[in-house]
Each structure stands twice: as C-alpha cells, then as structure tokens.
Amino acid sequence: MPDRSWKLISSQQLSAHRIFTMHADRYRLEPEGRENDFFKLEAPDWINIIPITLERQVVLVRQFRHGVRDVTLEIPGGMVDPGESPHDAAVRELLEETGYAAANVRELGWVWPNPAIQTNRCYTYLGTGAVSSAEARPDPYERIEVTLCPLREIPRMIREGEIRHALVVSAFASLFADDHVDTFRPFND
C-alpha cells in the first residue's frame, strides 16, 4: 500500500553516466509540510545467474570491484541491455563472463538492490546443466577468473565470508528457499 504522506514536489537530473542517472527528488511530508531532497539512482535492471554443472559444481567468477577496491567471489551477472529481456541477459552474461552455457535457465525471482536510493531490479536465474561451450568474452574492463565450487560448499562459503556480495547471497537464498531445491540437495551431500 503506497504511503500517501509523501508528495513529490520536483525532480531534477543531476548527472548521467553509462550505468546510472542521478536525480534529486524534492518531497513534502504531509501533514507536517516539511520538505527535503532525496537522491536516487536510475539504473537499468540487473541479472545474476547461478550456473550449476551436471557434476553439481557452481560456476563462480572472481573479479576486482572498484567500490570496495578488492576482488570478490560472485556468480555471473550484469546489466540488462535496452530491448533485452532479463532471461536473455542472463544467458548472455553467463556465456560472456565464463564461456559456459546452461541447458535450462529459469527465473528464481527478483529483488530491489537498494530501494532507498535505486530504482532498478535484480533478477536471479538458475542455469542447470551448465557446460563450457565457448571462450569467455568479458567486457574490455573486466578481468574475470572462472572457478568451480561444489554446490554443497556454498552455505559454508557464505557463513565464512568467502562470498560477501549481497546480491549473490540473496541469489543463493532464493535457490535454497526454492520449492525445487530438493533436486540439488545442497545440505544433504
């Protein structure tokens, strides 16, 4: 149910970049009448994909992240291009970043990455039957190391901080909460 006590007064674009546009939105809080600027980042939707091989290995990627100035362990992911469906973006990003293709790709759900300041969604996909099928072709400013890890190890890796990317943790939570997780039995191996 929308909160009708917030009234949008104005919206001004502050800057535009390849991956987001920044806006200042001025709101009035009723009935007090207090006004304030709130900042938001408009960005394209994102996807991530959990690729699992027939041997129940998860295809992971290590890459440098400029925000934290460190290397992170993640699943493949990226932006949904204009005119592209999230499903097609998941298939594309998996192939580009890892060289893997999945026999079956299905959506697990979506989350708002940070609804306090962002407008986009992040869709999570599961790719089963993943096999190495081509040479990876990452973007020009990506240096990606592909690594395989047993699915049963993922909960431990999250608990012990080997995987810290919030959207990746959320993706695995979607997988383990999914009605069809028995297919993988990650906790029973």
d(CA 38, CA 44): 20
Domain 46-183: give its CATH code: 3.90.79.10
pTM for this structure? 0.89
pLDDT for position 181: 52
Kindly list the strands in the beta sheet with 21-29, ordered across the sheet, starting from the edge strand earlier in the chain.
6-16, 21-29, 34-42
Residue 189 has pLDDT above 80, yes or no: no
Grade residue 97 by pLDDT with cuts at 50, 70 and 90: very high
CB pairs under 8 A, 24+ apart, for 157-161?
A: 157/73
Question: Which residue in the block uniquely carries the two structure tokens 């990506």?
Answer: 142
DSSP state of 3: -
Domain boundaries, the chain: 6-42, 46-183
